[in-house]
Amino acid sequence: MTDFSIIGKPIAMVDAAGKTTGAGKYTDDLCVPGMLVGKILHSPYPHARIKSIDTSRAERLEGVVAVAIGKDAPNTYGILPVGHDEHALALDKVRYVGDNVACVAAADEATAERALELIDVEYEVLPAYFDPEESMRAETDLIHDNKPHNLEKDYHHVFGDPEKGFVEADCVAEARFIAGEVTHAAMEPHSTLAGFEIDSQTGKPGRLIVWSSTQVPYYLQHKLSLVLEMPMAQIRVIKPLVGGGFGGKSEVIPLEIIAAIAARKARAPVKITYTREEVFWAHRGRPRTLIDLKTGVKKDGSITAVKARVVQDGGAYCSYGVVTILYSGALLGALYDIPNIQYDGYRVLTNKPACGAMRGHGTVNVRFAFESQLDELAAMINLDPAEIRRRNLLKPPCVTVNGLRVQSYGLPECIEKTVERSGWKERKGRLGKGRGLGIACSHYVSGAANSIIRSDMPHSTVNIKIDRDGGVVVYTGASEIGQGSDTMTAQIAAETLGCSLGRIRIVAADTDLTPIDIGSYSSRVTFMAGNATLRAAAEVKKQIALAAARKMGCEAEELIFRDDAVFRKKLAGEPPATTPATPATPSPVATPAQASVSGRVEGQILRGSLQQKRKDEGPKDSMSFEEAVVAAIDFHGTLTGTGSYAPPPEARGGKHKGGGVGPSPAYSYSAQVAEVSVDEETGEVTVHKVWAAHDCGRALNPVSVEGQIIGSVWMGMGQALT
């Protein structure tokens, strides 16, 4: 095993000090000169035609600077190219309670809220659809007048021969499962601050600058360009600290565009922060799902066929819906070896807030149904629930029946770990009445192999610049949303360069400064942005090695970078001859910016003496990292490196309709055992303990990985028990 000094070590988040002391700034903490408060008027009806809007009384209220309505930005948008069906502010209809009708920009919150009360809207109330199956059958009063029905999208896939598989089955289970709607409830509500730079020559609004709690700054830049009819080069999106996302900030949320519309009309910066109620209206969470599932197995437990009919209540707009319904079917096939699958998926429009991406996007509800039915089948053939899962394991490397490429597969080990740690064999069925153990498995992508907007560009790009004093600046478009991606990036860069973590400073998610990254979603950042960071660091390391080798009179391949020093391999077991110019790894709660500043000050003091030392000494066997950097800059000039990552073509899936959703360069697998008791009189459920095993590859930062697993258990319990 490779001996790492930083990778694999439990390291506190690099932004921990700012968050715990309050020094770190979230979007709602920001304030700029002349900033106004924005408030949104929401529809009281689930479905209605807007006959008229009169904003004159609101506009006359003292302190009101601007009022915006749908006609101020009539272009539609959507996160998917196939789903542009949403207006930031309703143009002719409202389609759910909470739909956005108008926005006020005023001097203070109280004035803005009073102004909303003065906006007069005349509605023609229309019949509303709340049940997806009823909505599918509707022929009149459709939710979108330009669509032929309320069915957003349907897919029908057949892989293998399901009918033959059911004939071969010794036992078949069939049932309907219903999973309720779930929202993310991140601690930080959505917030956006937007303002235009005023053109000094024309006096008109120029470049737009947007600070927003987003997981996808580059997609936000793209959609703002579309709706506002501005070149992307004239729009700068900056992501401050984000207090959790879970998918709820992985698409463009109406307030992000509304804030920009209001700022343009007011000619002043406008900040809008949702209330918790508005967060629920914005939603984009996990859809209510109806699953009709049929599964066949042989007496030995091997699965012969699966047939799934899935109906998702998508709410009033497309959102991520096409992807969500495809994920529900695609990832049925890459957990177990299933030879025959029929999948019929329906994404349906209803008069509710739009559903979108949420942790385990598209897979959770169908996985709940399938794992439940697998337990039922195990009981029918008198087989242990853990054993029936063992008997249907994949044999990697392989390609699943629906064309998903599985290269690594840690599920067997996950099952064994949870079975062993929980005492499954000894305790199952022996815990007394009303108390028992249950097991379930799951998996998900490590980033989608195909981006939302199809192109040949890399999914992640990272630039690294090293200053003359050894300070390392990493520029990444990846969004830190609380999951630890900035820490991961710093760890990879420091480990590759052999320098202390304190030298690393992260500049992230600013469309003016950082290269394109397609966003923080689908568990993609560590795999994709991490590989881009590794490649960028390796490129700049090669430049340093060439210069250092010249100084040492050896080949670059002979050098080792470690512990803030560069030395020849023959000295690998000895301490470096020179003392590093900066201290070793700093306090674990120091931010990269803080540590980097201290390192650079020290570097300035030492620079003169180092230059003189190089003149006085001949070739040597080691040098400090800073000395090596100075030598490289003297030799190469600017010291920079760029790394990119794009999934290989062979990982991008099948050619069938919808085959672009589901493929991934790697899948992560998990198994969990829960010990639960039920009070037979009250129905109260108590979860006593959960054992979770995750195939995550190498845990770059165990603290971060453990936090993700613990959080996922609590979030899963929240859905399961409510």
3-state SS string for 219-253:
HHHHHHHHHHCCCHHHEEEECCECCCCCCCCCCCC
Tokens describing residue 356: 């979108």
Burial of 618 (0-12, 13-18, 19+ CB in 10 A): exposed
Confidence (pLDDT) at 578 = 42
pLDDT tens column, 496-513: 999 999 999 999 999 999
The residue ranking higher by pLDDT, 410 or 452, is 410
| Residue 673 confidence class, pLDDT cut points 50, 70, 90 | very high
pLDDT tens column, 159-189: 999 999 999 999 999 999 999 999 999 999 9
Evaluate if residue 149 carries a pLDDT over 70: yes
Confidence (pLDDT) at 41 = 99
Give the Cα-Cα-Cα angle 85, 86, 90 (nearest 5 degrees).
130
Evaluate if residue 93 carries a pLDDT over 70: yes
Measured between alpha carbons, how far is 159 from 399 in angstroms, rounded to an integer?
13
Evaluate if residue 600 carries a pLDDT over 50: no
pLDDT tens column, 308-340: 999 999 999 999 999 999 999 999 989 999 999
Residue reference for tokens 């070149």: 231
Give the Cα-Cα-Cα angle 539, 650, 456 (nearest 5 degrees).
60
Burial of 102 (0-12, 13-18, 19+ CB in 10 A): buried
Confidence (pLDDT) at 198 = 85
Check if the beta carbon of residue 254 is closer than 8 Å to that of residue 43: no
Q: What Å distances lie between residue 312 and 34, 137, 345, CA to CA?
A: 45, 14, 8
Measured between alpha carbons, how far is 615 from 342 in angstroms, rounded to an integer?
74
Measured between alpha carbons, how far is 214 from 510 in angstroms, rounded to an integer?
11
Evaluate if residue 614 carries a pLDDT over 60: no
Confidence (pLDDT) at 571 = 57
| Residue 595 confidence class, pLDDT cut points 50, 70, 90 | very low
- Sign for the CA dihedral angle at 107, 108, 111, 114 comes to positive
CA–centroid distance for 109 within its chain? 32
Evaluate if residue 212 carries a pLDDT over 90: yes
| Residue 204 confidence class, pLDDT cut points 50, 70, 90 | confident
Residue reference for tokens 């009073």: 114
Of the listed ranges 194-198, 373-377, 608-612, the one predicted with least confidence: 608-612
Q: Which residues contact 245 (CB under 8 A, 6 or more apart)?
A: 184, 186, 215, 479, 481, 482, 520, 521
Of the listed ranges 205-219, 230-244, 572-586, the one predicted with least confidence: 572-586
Evaluate if residue 89 carries a pLDDT over 50: yes
Check if the beta carbon of residue 179 is closer than 8 Å to that of residue 358: no
Mean pLDDT, the chain, integer: 93
Percent of the chain with pLDDT over 70: 93
Percent of the chain with pLDDT over 90: 89
Q: Determine the average pLDDT of the residues in 614-640.
A: 86
3-state SS assignment for residue 430: coil
pLDDT tens column, 15-66: 999 999 999 999 999 999 999 999 999 999 999 999 999 999 999 999 999 9
| Residue 572 confidence class, pLDDT cut points 50, 70, 90 | low
Domains and CATH numbers, the chain: 16-23+457-645 (3.30.365.10), 398-453+662-722 (3.30.365.10)
Q: Can you name the residues that pair with 695 across neighbouring β-strands?
A: 669
Q: Determine the average pLDDT of the residues in 403-421.
A: 98
Evaluate if residue 589 carries a pLDDT over 90: no
CA–centroid distance for 644 within its chain? 19
